[in-house]
């Protein structure tokens, strides 16, 4: 073989070997290496790439090694299940895909309603307000045939209306401006049906209320009370003259609106409209809290400041007096609610007022820490007051309630005296009691047992002496309707079908013959109208086992059709044994869990757990009602198990269970959440390093307190929204009911505050969010907490602040953002995607 040119050649046999220069040899060597190395490198890369790909696939789907299943958590498909069903998402929660239609009836009370109940109610059809009867289909009375009206040169929208008792006139509110949670201001008109005319009462009125006489209207303007006469079409009386920024007449201040009356009015007409009783609230000594607002106007360069008289724990409360106005004599006087006793060092709380006769009323007061309940009978005609009973809370507290229902005298029906129904603790559980006559100090007990009556008596049938009420007799997570007769106490009848787990609500017509029964879950809600005096009975039992169903107001068939397209993560109600208490007794708490779509219990160390908690005293989250919301979004979108636990301190399980937290908020509640987390963390299918806790308001406080007590052992992540962080910062009426004052219980306040931030730092990471315009739980709470984090050098957290949002966090699209943030942040936590500082 010959070599061509400078390369030479190699011959076999006896041929002479030609010498090759060194440079030429090196080049030939490189050529040879390149010829073989390039394909080898490509093969090597292909093999290594295949290994990496296989490892990635196994990491996503889970790898099996022998008998051990070692899955790796990953986010599921966000829109469909493996079977092709639609999943719950924020989009369909926010567009009300899963929202049941819930209708309400504005029942009408006329002078003869108690004994001639036609089931009258107001309804709206084609922008026309009409009075109809559930009993007489032919009855119809048009109140107003438009949702707008013209007065002078101005067109007004009807925001709300209330018919006079005789149905001849309407009280209309328009130009409504929201104030605090329950209160608003507006322009009020009277509409005369007969003359089809409108009459202006006034602008910027806080409230306006019909008198039972259908002539007079009481209203509050600039914190003073006036009487408007429809007979004369003008204001005829001014009852008070001292209304100001510090003196509230007939209208609650901030703390009485939020914590005591839970509404916007503090005045009540007597049954015949002869007297008007009202609160006079003096805030002079109450501390002032300033809230800056930053984004109210686009061009503002200075913040706007709103000042609130807000009594914080241990500081002066407003002074409240009870006044009675006599219309006939145009005279008002201050009723004695001290019982002749020396006025206490701190003002009393005036918690409930109710007329129990044409000229008599019951007034309930407590000391500021709700230890002692005092009940007064006030005689407006004689202008005298009498302390009729006084009860100790016996280690618990007196929860503020509005349960009194007047039972009028009627000798024909066996009622010799005016009396009233109330709810009182009996052997540690809240039950119905009957006081007759009204000055009685010892009641007749109507119900008993280890269950509780909820929200007092629902209604009273004036002809049959039957009392209707909602109770937890079947389960503390259920609500059924029952009845008991005044003549046969403790003999109860179930009105709803107690064979099925259910939550019911009810509203009654004026004479309690008819009712709107609302089934609220756990299945799809429905509403029906029932006649309790019908001789007919339902052929098919659905809801009620007593009374005839006249018709369904709402079946929610459209919701049922929509739900058939979705795979809603199942919710299971249960009780959890959280271990033993200090006395060796089992701690049994109500709970529910929501399992993600396609839940597979055979997976090992796979599922994250998302706890949601509120946990405040006497509260309840575990209720068997229908809902599809944020918790279902978390389960569907994050493939997480959602758990809600009502630990000790929560309501409807008796005094012993709830009063344990007295003077020591945050301790037992946190222990029970930790015990539940330990229980779930021990389950084979749970990844114990991905357990989180989310809460808002008291739940936000409980989240931080639990992270503090747990110190990263079980809860690795926390999401706290609008939390209290120190109970000295919260309002006196709520806090002192459970904690007494800081002066009396300094140690308890120190223990209950969120202070050990280095323990919280043991968690992997936590999130804090708050609105700067929160008038309820002041932003001060989060700022003080952030300062503690700074001082301790803690940095494993994230913060989102919502400018000018109040406690509900809704201002300027904030409610969308807050929930998006909660979901996104949790997603990062569960996928280990945080870059920790």
**Judging by DSSP bridges, how do beta strands 571-580 and 304-309 pair with one another?**
unpaired
Distance, in Å, from the CA atom of 644 to the CA atom of 615, rounded to the nearest integer, reads: 10
Distance, in Å, from the CA atom of 81 to the CA atom of 287, rounded to the nearest integer, reads: 56
Residue 122 pLDDT grade (very low, low, confident, very high; cuts 50, 70, 90): confident
* Closest CA relative to residue 453, chosen from 429, 437, 436, 420: 429
Residue 5 pLDDT grade (very low, low, confident, very high; cuts 50, 70, 90): very low
- Cα–Cα distances (Å) from 519 to 21, 104, 180, 503, 571, in that order, read 101, 13, 31, 6, 18
Phi, psi of 164 (to 5 degrees): -70, 155
Residue 833 pLDDT grade (very low, low, confident, very high; cuts 50, 70, 90): confident
Structural domain of residue 689, as residue ranges?
A: 568-828
pLDDT in tens, 74-110: 999 888 988 889 999 999 999 999 999 998 888 988 8
Residues counted in the chain: 837
Asked if residue 42 belongs to a domain, the reply is yes
Query: What's the Rg (C-alpha) of the chain?
Result: 34
Do 754 and 702 touch, CB atoms closer than 8 A? no
Residue 402 pLDDT grade (very low, low, confident, very high; cuts 50, 70, 90): very high
Asked if residue 353 belongs to a domain, the reply is no
**pLDDT attached to residue 540:** 85
**pLDDT attached to residue 40:** 46
Residue 125 pLDDT grade (very low, low, confident, very high; cuts 50, 70, 90): confident
Do 164 and 231 touch, CB atoms closer than 8 A? no
**Judging by DSSP bridges, how do beta strands 571-580 and 586-594 pair with one another?**
antiparallel
pLDDT in tens, 511-566: 999 999 999 999 999 999 999 988 788 888 899 999 999 999 999 999 999 999 99
pLDDT in tens, 257-307: 999 999 999 999 999 999 999 999 999 999 999 999 999 988 889 999 999
Distance, in Å, from the CA atom of 727 to the CA atom of 45, rounded to the nearest integer, reads: 64
Given a cut of 80, whether residue 325 has pLDDT beyond it is yes
Residue 342 pLDDT grade (very low, low, confident, very high; cuts 50, 70, 90): low
Given a cut of 90, whether residue 136 has pLDDT beyond it is no
Asked if residue 94 belongs to a domain, the reply is no
Last residue of a domain, one of 17, 41, 58: 58
Q: Is the pTM of this model over 0.85?
A: yes
Distance, in Å, from the CA atom of 453 to the CA atom of 308, rounded to the nearest integer, reads: 36
Give the burial class of 684: count Cβ atoms within 10 A of its Cβ; 0-12 exposed, 13-18 middle, 19 or more buried.
Answer: exposed
Q: Which percentage of the chain shows pLDDT scores above 70?
A: 91
Catalytically annotated residues:
697, 774, 807
Last residue of a domain, one of 19, 42, 58: 58
Distance, in Å, from the CA atom of 43 to the CA atom of 55, rounded to the nearest integer, reads: 18
**pLDDT attached to residue 535:** 79
**pLDDT attached to residue 406:** 96
Distance, in Å, from the CA atom of 451 to the CA atom of 473, rounded to the nearest integer, reads: 5
Residue 436 pLDDT grade (very low, low, confident, very high; cuts 50, 70, 90): very high
- Total domains in the chain come to 2
Residue 23, number of CB atoms within 10 A of its CB: 9
Asked if residue 180 belongs to a domain, the reply is no
**pLDDT attached to residue 343:** 66
Given a cut of 60, whether residue 14 has pLDDT beyond it is no
Residue 217, number of CB atoms within 10 A of its CB: 23
Give the pLDDT mean for 443-468: 95
pLDDT in tens, 657-673: 999 999 999 999 999 99
**pLDDT attached to residue 52:** 40
Give the pLDDT mean for 451-464: 94
**pLDDT attached to residue 397:** 95
* Closest CA relative to residue 288, chosen from 272, 263, 270, 306: 306
Residue 8 pLDDT grade (very low, low, confident, very high; cuts 50, 70, 90): very low
pLDDT in tens, 411-422: 999 999 999 999
Last residue of a domain, one of 58, 77, 93: 58
**pLDDT attached to residue 82:** 87
Average confidence score pLDDT of the chain:
89
**pLDDT attached to residue 835:** 65
Do 513 and 119 touch, CB atoms closer than 8 A? yes
Distance, in Å, from the CA atom of 690 to the CA atom of 638, rounded to the nearest integer, reads: 12
Asked if residue 728 belongs to a domain, the reply is yes
pLDDT in tens, 741-795: 999 999 999 999 999 999 999 999 999 999 999 999 999 999 999 999 999 999 9
**pLDDT attached to residue 300:** 85
CATH for 638: 3.40.50.1820
Distance, in Å, from the CA atom of 342 to the CA atom of 202, rounded to the nearest integer, reads: 41
* Closest CA relative to residue 633, chosen from 580, 688, 576, 694: 694
pLDDT in tens, 172-182: 999 999 998 89
Residue 64 pLDDT grade (very low, low, confident, very high; cuts 50, 70, 90): very low
Asked if residue 720 belongs to a domain, the reply is yes
156-160, 247-251, 607-611, range with the lowest pLDDT: 156-160
Asked if residue 547 belongs to a domain, the reply is no
Greater pLDDT, 155 or 541: 155
Asked if residue 542 belongs to a domain, the reply is no
Distance, in Å, from the CA atom of 702 to the CA atom of 677, rounded to the nearest integer, reads: 14
For 441: left if phi > 0, alpha if psi spans -120 to 50, otherwise beta; the answer is: alpha
Distance, in Å, from the CA atom of 622 to the CA atom of 522, rounded to the nearest integer, reads: 11
Given a cut of 70, whether residue 455 has pLDDT beyond it is yes
Q: Which percentage of the chain shows pLDDT scores above 90?
A: 78
């Amino acid at each position: 073989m010959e070599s061509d040119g400078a390369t030479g050649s190699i011959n076999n046999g006896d041929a002479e070997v030609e010498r090759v220069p060194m440079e030429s040899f090196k080049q030939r060597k490189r050529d040879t290496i390149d010829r073989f190395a390039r394909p080898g490198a490509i093969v090597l890369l292909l093999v290594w790439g295949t290994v990496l790909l296989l490892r990635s696939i196994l990491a996503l789907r889970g790898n099996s090694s022998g008998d051990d299943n070692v899955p790796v958590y990953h986010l599921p498909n966000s829109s469909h299940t493996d079977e092709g069903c639609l999943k719950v998402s924020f989009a369909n929660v926010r567009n009300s895909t899963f929202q049941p239609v819930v209708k309400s009836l504005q029942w009408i009370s006329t002078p003869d309603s108690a004994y001639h109940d036609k089931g009258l109610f107001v309804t709206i059809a084609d922008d026309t307000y009409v009075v109809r009867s559930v009993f007489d289909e032919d009855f119809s009375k048009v109140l107003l045939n438009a949702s707008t009206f013209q007065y002078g040169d101005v067109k007004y929208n009807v925001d709300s209306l209330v018919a006079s008792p005789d149905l001849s006139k309407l009280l209309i509110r328009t130009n409504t401006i929201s104030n605090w949670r329950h209160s608003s201001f507006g322009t009020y008109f009277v509409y005369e049906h007969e003359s089809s005319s409108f009459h202006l009462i006034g602008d910027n009125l806080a409230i306006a209320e019909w008198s039972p006489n259908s002539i007079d209207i009481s209203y509050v303007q600039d914190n003073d009370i006036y009487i408007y006469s429809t007979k004369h079409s003008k204001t005829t009386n001014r009852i008070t003259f001292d209304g100001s920024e510090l003196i509230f007449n007939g209208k609650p201040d901030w703390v009485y609106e939020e914590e005591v009356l839970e509404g916007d009015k503090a005045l009540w007409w007597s049954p015949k409209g002869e007297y008007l009783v009202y609160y006079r609230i003096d805030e002079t000594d109450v501390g002032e809290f300033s809230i800056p607002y930053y984004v109210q106007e686009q061009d503002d360069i200075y913040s706007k400041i709103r000042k609130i008289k807000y009594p914080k724990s241990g500081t002066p409360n407003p002074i409240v007096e009870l006044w009675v106005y006599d219309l006939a004599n145009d005279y008002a006087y201050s009723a004695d609610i001290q019982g002749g006793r020396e006025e206490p060092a701190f003002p009393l709380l005036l918690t409930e007022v109710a007329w129990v006769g044409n000229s008599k009323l019951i007034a309930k007061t407590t000391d500021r820490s709700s230890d002692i309940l005092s009940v007064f009978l006030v005689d407006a005609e004689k202008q005298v007051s009498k302390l009729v009973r006084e009860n100790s809370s016996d280690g618990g507290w007196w929860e503020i309630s509005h349960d009194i229902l007047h039972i009028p005298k009627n000798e024909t029906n066996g009622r010799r005296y005016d009396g009233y129904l109330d709810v009182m603790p009996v052997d540690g559980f809240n039950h119905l009691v009957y006081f007759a006559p009204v000055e009685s100090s010892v009641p007749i007990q109507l119900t008993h047992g280890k269950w509780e009556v909820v929200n007092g008596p629902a209604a009273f049938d004036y002809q049959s002496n039957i009392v209707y009420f909602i109770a937890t007799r079947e389960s503390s997570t259920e609500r059924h309707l029952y009845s008991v007769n005044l003549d046969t106490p403790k003999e109860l009848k179930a009105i709803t079908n107690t064979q099925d787990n259910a939550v019911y609500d009810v509203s009654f017509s004026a004479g309690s013959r008819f009712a709107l029964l609302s089934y609220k879950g756990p299945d799809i809600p429905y509403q029906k109208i029932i006649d309790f005096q019908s001789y007919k009975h339902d052929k098919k039992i659905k809801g009620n086992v007593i009374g005839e169903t006249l018709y369904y107001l709402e079946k929610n068939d459209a919701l049922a059709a929509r739900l058939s397209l979705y795979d809603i993560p199942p919710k299971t109600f249960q009780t959890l044994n959280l271990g033993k208490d200090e006395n060796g007794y089992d701690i049994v708490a109500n709970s529910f869990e929501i399992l993600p779509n396609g839940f597979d219990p055979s997976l090992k160390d796979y599922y994250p757990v998302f706890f949601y908690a509120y946990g405040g005293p006497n509260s309840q989250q575990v209720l068997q009602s229908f809902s599809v919301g944020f918790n279902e979004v978390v389960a569907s979108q994050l493939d997480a198990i959602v758990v809600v636990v009502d630990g000790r301190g929560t309501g409807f399980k008796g005094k012993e269970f709830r009063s344990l937290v007295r003077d020591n908020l945050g301790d037992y509640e946190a222990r029970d959440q930790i015990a539940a987390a330990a229980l779930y963390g021990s389950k084979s299918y749970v990844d114990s390093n991905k357990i989180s806790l989310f809460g808002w308001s008291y739940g936000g406080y409980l989240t931080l307190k639990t992270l503090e007590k747990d110190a990263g052992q079980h809860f690795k992540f926390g999401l706290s929204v609008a939390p209290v962080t120190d109970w000295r910062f919260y309002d006196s009426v709520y806090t002192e009911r459970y904690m007494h004052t800081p002066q009396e219980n300094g140690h308890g306040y120190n223990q209950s505050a969120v202070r050990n931030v280095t323990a919280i730092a043991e968690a992997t990471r936590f999130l804090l969010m708050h609105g700067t315009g929160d008038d309820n739980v002041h932003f001060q709470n989060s700022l003080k907490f952030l300062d503690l984090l700074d001082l301790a050098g803690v940095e494993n957290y994230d913060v989102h602040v919502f400018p000018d949002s109040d406690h509900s966090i809704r201002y300027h699209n904030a409610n969308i953002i807050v929930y998006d943030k909660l979901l996104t942040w949790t997603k990062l936590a569960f996928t280990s995607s945080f870059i920790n500082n």
